[in-house]
Chain A
Amino acid sequence: MIRTAALALTALLSACATITAQPPEEAASELTTVPFFPQEAYQCGPAALATLLVHSGVAITPEALVPQVYLPGRGGSLQVELLAATRRSGRIPFTLQGGPEALFRELEAGNPVLVLQNLGREWLPRWHYAVVIGYQPEGQRVLLRSGTERRRLERWNRFSASWAHADYWGLVIPRPGEIPASGHADNLARELAGQERLLEPALVAATWDAARERWPEDPNLLFAAANAHRVNADTEGAAQLYYTLLMQSPQHIPARNNFADLLLQAGCPVSAERLIAPARHATTVLSSPIADAVRQTAADIARQRAQVTYDPDYCRALTQDPTLP
């Protein structure tokens, strides 16, 4: 009875929804290997998150996620806490950038998408997490793992209206070393940079590498990958990346600075000095945190120059500079 009534209500609410998205012309898809965890009372957050995590290769249950994401005082789970819990499971959360269009790119690539829906109205919101696992073009229906339904079919118009009321918020959790199929380099870079200090250095480096493979020309991704490899104690890999970036854009002062610092720490003060010299002249036009870092690096080089023992062959290899004395 309640169930039928619920359907009636949802239908009624959707009927007066203001957003009427055109049903998309997309190929049929269904990610049948995505697991299903029926939700316990109010706990669609842990259930939906476990669905994505297990699909990405993590061994976890919704019960184990309850103390990580459930907020008793709100009777539900917040979006940012789903992101935080993803990190605690050793995976990187990426929010979906680009609404329905991006959703279909992810399905095409085999990635289920966790979505936030508002099943109520703006003045009486009912927030719900579900996982989109496919689409049926005939009848225009979205396939969901939702609540207690393993395979829920929802009309596209109804689904997209409820999703639009939650600002098209979606979450993708790729397997380690992979990145979402949708989205732009800038968004991905900002999102990964904002959380990398909370993640395993090796995972972070591998993920920047994946981004670099997709957008080889992007200087921010090269810079980020170089920094990440250095944090992951891969001095040679980092040096190679800084070198590539500086060949491509010699004006990249942060790369020049960080490469110089790397060389100094690696025992190559002469190479470090050669690199930082052009940057020092630019300190007057740079914003202050960057200029401060350049001055600091230059001062470190001047101070430590005499103290380090110097292996010219190693330094020539790191800088790819045969003219080094």
Chain B
Amino acid sequence: MLTSRLLVLLQITAFLVASTVGTAQAAIIGTAEHLTDQNRNVQLAQISATLANDTVQQHLLDMGVSPEDTLARINALSDAELQQLAQQLDTLPAGSGALGVLGALFLVLLVLELIGVTNVFSKL
């Protein structure tokens, strides 16, 4: 347990260092930067990258993802995707399968209704 926590701490540090070092060489204009420059008016309101990172990390942990997986998953997200997750993680569609628990329940009610066993809906 302690070792896994230490590992996470190490990974966070490594990630922070890596993400600050990468911003050197301001003399070169990146492709993304150039494309954004052409479309200034479509830029959406954004929260800071660090805040977005922290928010998503907390969300994923709260939703039962392990600390190690959380970091690896966040590191594979683009800036725009990180922003989207930070702002809408609770409401985005989560594809799960053809039949869920709620659906099964609704279905049983519906079938019972259709074959005339119950009268839940017709009296509404």
A residues neighboring B (CB under 8 Å): 2, 5-6, 8-9, 12, 39, 41-45, 48, 67-69, 71-81, 83-85, 87-88, 116, 118-120, 124-129, 146-147, 166, 189-190, 193-198, 220, 223-224, 227-228, 254, 257-258, 261, 287, 289-290, 292-293, 296-297, 300
A127 to B95, Cβ gap below 8 A? yes
B residues neighboring A (CB under 8 Å): 22, 26-35, 37-38, 40, 60, 62-66, 69, 72-73, 75-81, 84-85, 89, 92-100, 102-104, 106-108, 110-111, 114
Contacts of B110 in A (CB 8 A): 5, 9, 12
A83 to B81, Cβ gap below 8 A? yes
A72 to B26, Cβ gap below 8 A? no
The CA of A293 and the CA of B107, in the complex, are separated in Å by: 61
Contacts of A39 in B (CB 8 A): 97
Tell me the total A-B contact number using a CB cutoff of 8 A: 173
Select the residue from B64, B76, B84, B96 with max chain A CB neighbours within 10 A. B96
B98 to A72, Cβ gap below 8 A? no
B35 to A80, Cβ gap below 8 A? no
The CA of A5 and the CA of B81, in the complex, are separated in Å by: 38
Interface SS, B side: helix
The CA of A127 and the CA of B78, in the complex, are separated in Å by: 23
Contacts of A193 in B (CB 8 A): 30-32, 35
B63 to A73, Cβ gap below 8 A? yes
A223-B31 in contact given A71-B63, A128-B98 (Cβ < 8 Å): yes
Contacts of A195 in B (CB 8 A): 78
B64 to A194, Cβ gap below 8 A? no
A297-B95 in contact given A6-B107, A126-B100, A194-B78 (Cβ < 8 Å): no
